[in-house]
Amino acid sequence: MDVRAGTPGDAVDGRVPRLVARPGSTEQVSATMRAAHAVGAVTMVRGNGSKLRWGAPATEADLLVDVRGMRTLLEHQPGDLIVRAEAGMPLADLQEQLRASGQRLGVDEPVAGTTLGGLIASNASGPRRLHTGTVRDLLIGVTVVLADGTVAHSGGKVVKNVAGYDLCKLMTGSFGTLAVVTEATFRLHPAPDASGWATVRVDRDGLEPLLERLCRTQLAPAALEIDAPPGDSVTVALLVEGTTAGVPGRLAAARAEIGDDAELVDDLDWPWLYPFGTDGDHTGLKITCTLGGVATLTAGATDLGLHVRGSAGTGVLYAALPPGADAVEVAAALDTLRPLAADHGGAVVVLDAPRAVRDAVDVWGPVPATPIMRRLKDQFDPAALLAPGRFVGGI
């Protein structure tokens, strides 16, 4: 295992860790965590580092555990639609290896370079969440190393369980604050033979009735996306996937449902990308709401000058503030959007932003389950050595 001094290139939120460890196995991660726990070293985990700006700023970092040395596909059972791989494996590499078997992991990669561990930690998802679900739905087994070095397993390929806990659900979206994920087992889907998009541009007043109509159809889309830059019009796009013989007919039915103005295309670029960058002076929000609130939240955000994009079929939207927006502007947008989202059963979090913005605003907002999350943190990491301060309520 490689252990070296931290460099400026290893900085997390401007803090250079004293040491960087690059383990090559779960056993080496366990040994590293035991040693760190013995001296009270605050530890962060990094894959390709594409989402280290997500969440609240890290308070400090004595040790950075770099899992990029763990990128092996450990097991693939095509007949059972199951794959097991190490956490440092890039999602794109996994998809490439699965392609030969006509299968795929049904999640998208809105941030290039995402590793499987980062995918789980951030619960990132894209357009296909409407059809295949999110990472939380597809993760069926996980191996983790706790802060004290204990190795635990849950779900598929179980060796040892942590009694009473569903580790797959707990690890997803925990931002590395509960344990280090080292291996993951996912449920797969067959890759479709063909796909196509039906897309149309409507004014904001026409968005809600169109979405209501599309959500009631029997088209079974793989994705239903919107793209709304500031202004009065919104692009709606519906993805159809299936057999080579069946997709053209379903796309024709989609056009009939949407209207004669609908355009049929093989692929689109924008649905696969968040409307904001992941570095520099960009600030991006994640907005959740009921399906009935999508049009209202989209209008509210675009009225503030935000660019909105996301899954109209699941009520998960992403919004970009203008580049260079400062903490005052971000706070003002949150003050307007959070009550609006709450009225529609959702919430608004600052997903990605420069350090200065995340230092000055409440990244997560009000979360009713915070006391429960604190108790979980106390159970898994009582000394608060794993990414302290990064998650909800300073956890």
pLDDT digits (tens, 9 = 90+) for 167-184: 899 999 999 999 999 999
Q: Is residue 179 part of a domain?
A: yes
Q: Is the pLDDT of residue 160 over 60?
A: no
Q: Is the pLDDT of residue 162 over 60?
A: no
Residues 245 and 313 in one domain: no
Residues 106 and 242 in one domain: no
Average pLDDT over residues 255-269: 93
Beta partners for residue 92, in sequence order: none
Q: Is residue 262 part of a domain?
A: yes
Instruction: Say which residue the tokens 């050595």 belong to.
Output: 385
Residues 26 and 120 in one domain: yes
| Parent domain of 71 | 1-191
Q: Is residue 387 part of a domain?
A: no
pLDDT at 163: 47
Q: What is the pLDDT of residues 102-115, one digit of tens each?
A: 999 999 998 999 99
Q: Is the pLDDT of residue 238 over 60?
A: yes
Per DSSP, 12 falls in state B
Out of 272, 299, 334, a domain closes at 272
Q: Is residue 58 part of a domain?
A: yes
Report the CATH number that the domain containing residue 318 is assigned in CATH.
3.30.70.2740
* Rounded CA separation 22/20 (Å): 7
* Rounded CA separation 61/112 (Å): 25
Report the CATH number that the domain containing residue 136 is assigned in CATH.
3.30.465.10
Residues 164 and 295 in one domain: no
Sequence letter at residue 203: D
Q: What is the pLDDT of residues 283-314, one digit of tens each?
A: 999 999 999 999 999 999 999 999 999 999 99
